[in-house]
Chains A and B, each alone.
Chain A
Amino acid sequence: MSRHVDVIVVGAGPAGLSASSTLAEMGLDVVTLDEQPQLGGQIYRNIEKASPKSLHLFGEDYSSGLMIAERFRKSGADYENSTSVWQLDSDGTICCSSRAHSRQMRANHVIVATGAMERPVPIPGWTLPGVMGAGAVNNLTKESGLKPSGNVVLAGSGPLLLLEATLLIKKNVEIAAILDTTPLIPRVSAVPPAPKALMRTDFLLKGASMLKSIKDAGIPHHRGVKDICAIGTNCLESVQARCGKETITIPADLLMLHFGVIPNSHIFRQAGCRMAWKADQRYWHPACDQWGRTNFERIFAAGDGAMVSGGVSARYRGELTALEVSRCLGIISGHERDALAKPLKKALRHDGWPRPFVDAIYAPRPEQFSFDDATILCRCENVTVKDVRRAVREGARDLNEIKIMTRSGMGSCQGRMCGPALAEIAAAEISLSPDRLGLLNVRPPLRPVPLEEIAEMELETAKESSNWLLDNKK
């Protein structure tokens, strides 16, 4: 049956769960839709079924999700798992698919909390079996306690790469090497935010202990690495990289790549939200006001999907968005919203102190990525870096133009895997910033849907109004 609700929340990670809980606690009709079978998003993946061992392994960063999940369960928000939203319209209508059935729903407001994804960076050989995103490996651990075996190499940049390494060490996985592409000399922009980061000693200690555990485990940690290649015939056999003037080759069974995280923004782009370019982190995010409101009155963005700032921040931002939505729906006054927001904003500031420092240190730099002509850029359509360069040479000055010429970004993932690199490659060819080349259009459906599901879909239609007094037989 089709429904009209107060708020649809898309995503059940920290932002989505907190937003849903806050709204439902105010008595609003909330439906939380999430594509995973278990709530928690990426950071709190499988939290409700986590074993004591898993809770211990991932520590407080993970186990704090228990409280968030518990609050959500008690809040009265409707929760639909394994449900993919495949279309969002600016008027608050969504189409979603669950259990081989598609339907349309309408809400007065939609809060999109789709979180972050790992920045995909194509390297030579990245399509070989044995090359995985570090996040995917992390997910397997949270979901089923799996751990990698054989020769494991970690490569890329960012705090999560080091965090992943320390988790693997705790699990007694032997790491053959860490190939860190973070430049040896930090950016000048890292200096001004450094003192603020010092105010969070807990945070700095965490960073130091990660580095210590890597050092104590005796893992070769190569820094300032460039030109990482995955080598193998049918599957990964070794990893090659340039380290200063030296080229190193490491036999490997598993290469875990991680180049930082970016907002998972496809749904905003499909809906037509105005996007903004974050120049220092080189990613697009929906342009929002302080409450997460996009350019569409009914559509809000919360958490890392709006801008990457981590799980703790996402929780606060989810609540802040919910407060403003409650005000829009007339449940609380502006005054009350501000009063309730005050402690949240304070906590958010505290959490955010180290962020500019970390961001500056790990800020992606175009020179870190050297794209090789023969590398497959678009895995769905088998498009190489060379094909893209040819399209630019033939006059394409817009990513969508390159897309139609090469098919890069035209496959079922709609450019999730190739889009950011496509922009970097094309922009480098004509010495422009990637944002000057536009953004790949994202079309419905956001996830492939069988045609029969569309054919049988229930459409939300305006119901005829009737006289409630006469209809009410009591």
Chain B
Amino acid sequence: MKSVDIIVIGGGLSGSATALGLVREGAGKVVLFDEHLPSQRLSRGNFGLTWFMCKGATHPVYAQWCRMAAQKWPDFAADLKEETGYDVELEWTGGAVHAFGEEEFNAHSQSVESLRKVCESVGIDYPVKMLDRSEFQDLIPNMQLGEDVTGAMYTSEQGHVNPLKLLTALRCAFQKKGGIFKGGESIGKIIPHKNGTVTVKTVKGSYQCEKLVIAAGHGSTRLLKSLGEKLHIYPSRGQLMVTERQKRMLRVPILCVRQTVDGTFLIGLTTEDTAMDTRTTAAAMKDEAINAIRLFPQLAKYNWVRAWGAIRVMTPDGAPIYSRVQGHDNITVLALHSAVSLAPMKISAIAPWILGKNEAEQLKHFTNGRFNNA
């Protein structure tokens, strides 16, 4: 049995960012397990937005949390580059959600106003405005808008990154700071002991730790079940398409279309209830292509080269779960979508909280227990 200070189960974005936060805080010997499970690759299927706009309409603290995360992104990316040499390709160029027709434009306006009020209630601003068609066109001069486009909601205070580079950089930084990464080693059993330690059994051996973090996406459900707790998450499939590289034309990411630094266009996203089925469907591809071409007709001629599906971790209110496991104060569970956007919070708030250093006031709103009576 190997003895370590902290074990993090789940080498995706949330697990890796938290593990990095822990070693940066000087948490001792930290081991990060990534199971490489084919079904649980949501961190590999991410669209790559660092986004707060539209989030938290029914959950003011979540809106605040997202905004805090977005603001931390430029420094977070710069630190990673300095530590690892990996450029996560952050472009802090804002973000937009287009509208087709008057009705959608008005609905967007209303949602901006209502989120502004939500943000006021927790004492923050909501720097989002509506752009009419010509303002939107001026923002992205190299992309001709389709004729149905009436405008967009827009903020300058967010951006997009390469989520795969982010994952790579996080794990590299973690290891450079002394963390131990174990790829392809899956977890069989978690055994908490009365003396406050936990034994984690993997396919290759046993480890004993003082604290345990479970961030295994949908795999967390099974692990928590063995600890007697129901994790309130459900699967939601998103399908994405990517085109061949083109010269850079679109610098501002749109919710359903963005152009990456290396020139490919990413087109998304669906929200489907398909349980753990990660396949892609021709029907979704068709819908996404129609929608993207309606927004930017020039996309019609570009070659589509790949599609993939990934299963989001959804919660009933859309906000993340950061929670101590009931009866086991040394075991923490992290379960969320938008892991790219929220990655900086793992460093600044989640890692210190796991170590018992300080607890951000928002965290009490993100317990798993909040859904127990729902």
Q: Which residues does A use to contact B, with CB under 8 Å?
A: 87, 89, 93, 95, 104, 272, 391, 394-398, 400-401, 404-405, 407, 410-412, 414, 438, 441, 443-445, 448-452, 454-455, 457, 459
Smallest distance from the beta carbon of A41 to chain B beta carbons, Å? 25
A461 closest partner in B (C-beta): B283
The CA-CA distance from A412 to B299 in the complex, in Å, is 17
Is B182's CB under 8 angstroms from A445's CB?
A: no
Is A95's CB under 8 angstroms from B282's CB?
A: yes
A-B contact pairs, 5 of them (CB 8 A): A391-B168, A395-B34, A395-B182, A405-B167, A451-B293
Q: Does B8 contact A (CB under 8 A)?
A: no
Stretch in B107-115, B302-310, B362-370 touching the partner: B302-310
The CA-CA distance from A303 to B187 in the complex, in Å, is 41
With A444-B280, A445-B307 already in contact, the answer to whether A451 and B167 are too (CB < 8 A) is no
Stretch in B91-99, B284-292, B315-323 touching the partner: B284-292
Taking CB atoms and an 8 Å cut-off, the chain B residues in 164-179 that contact chain A are: 164, 167-168, 171-172, 175
A90 closest partner in B (C-beta): B279
Q: Does B126 contact A (CB under 8 A)?
A: no
Q: Does B222 contact A (CB under 8 A)?
A: no
Q: Does B123 contact A (CB under 8 A)?
A: no
Is B300's CB under 8 angstroms from A87's CB?
A: no
* Residues in A whose Cβ lies below 8 Å from that of B171: 394-395
Please report the number of residue pairs spanning A and B whose Cβ atoms sit closer than 8 angstroms: 108
With A404-B164, A448-B304 already in contact, the answer to whether A397 and B183 are too (CB < 8 A) is yes
Interface string of B240-255 (1 = CB under 8 A from A): 0101100000000000
Is A454's CB under 8 angstroms from B285's CB?
A: yes
Is A443's CB under 8 angstroms from B168's CB?
A: no
B176 closest partner in A (C-beta): A394
* Residues in B whose Cβ lies below 8 Å from that of A400: 36, 38, 41, 44
Taking CB atoms and an 8 Å cut-off, the chain B residues in 344-374 that contact chain A are: none
* Residues in B whose Cβ lies below 8 Å from that of A445: 304-307
Within 8 Å by CB of A451, from B36, B168, B184, B292, lies B292
Q: Does B181 contact A (CB under 8 A)?
A: yes
The CA-CA distance from A281 to B334 in the complex, in Å, is 44
Within 8 Å by CB of B290, from A407, A449, A450, A455, lies A455
Smallest distance from the beta carbon of A388 to chain B beta carbons, Å? 13
Q: Does B301 contact A (CB under 8 A)?
A: yes
Is A412's CB under 8 angstroms from B244's CB?
A: yes
The CA-CA distance from A413 to B11 in the complex, in Å, is 28
Is A451's CB under 8 angstroms from B289's CB?
A: yes
Is A450's CB under 8 angstroms from B183's CB?
A: no
With A412-B244, A455-B286, A459-B282 already in contact, the answer to whether A398 and B184 are too (CB < 8 A) is yes
* Residues in B whose Cβ lies below 8 Å from that of A450: 300-304
Taking CB atoms and an 8 Å cut-off, the chain B residues in 209-247 that contact chain A are: 241, 243-244
Is B286's CB under 8 angstroms from A398's CB?
A: no
The CA-CA distance from A459 to B181 in the complex, in Å, is 45
Is A443's CB under 8 angstroms from B306's CB?
A: yes
B11 closest partner in A (C-beta): A395
With A405-B164, A443-B308, A450-B302 already in contact, the answer to whether A397 and B290 are too (CB < 8 A) is no
Within 8 Å by CB of B243, from A397, A398, A451, lies A451
With A405-B164, A450-B303 already in contact, the answer to whether A394 and B293 are too (CB < 8 A) is no
B243 closest partner in A (C-beta): A451
Within 8 Å by CB of A404, from B44, B286, B289, B301, lies B44
Interface string of B119-141 (1 = CB under 8 A from A): 00000000000000000000000
Within 8 Å by CB of A455, from B168, B289, B303, lies B289
Smallest distance from the beta carbon of A112 to chain B beta carbons, Å? 18
The CA-CA distance from A376 to B181 in the complex, in Å, is 27
* Residues in B whose Cβ lies below 8 Å from that of A444: 280, 282, 285, 306-307
The CA-CA distance from A398 to B39 in the complex, in Å, is 13
Lowest 3 CB-CB distances: which A-B pairs, in order? A397-B184, A452-B300, A448-B303
Smallest distance from the beta carbon of B266 to chain A beta carbons, Å? 12
Interface centre among A89, A411, A443 (most CB of B within 10 A): A443
The CA-CA distance from A272 to B184 in the complex, in Å, is 21
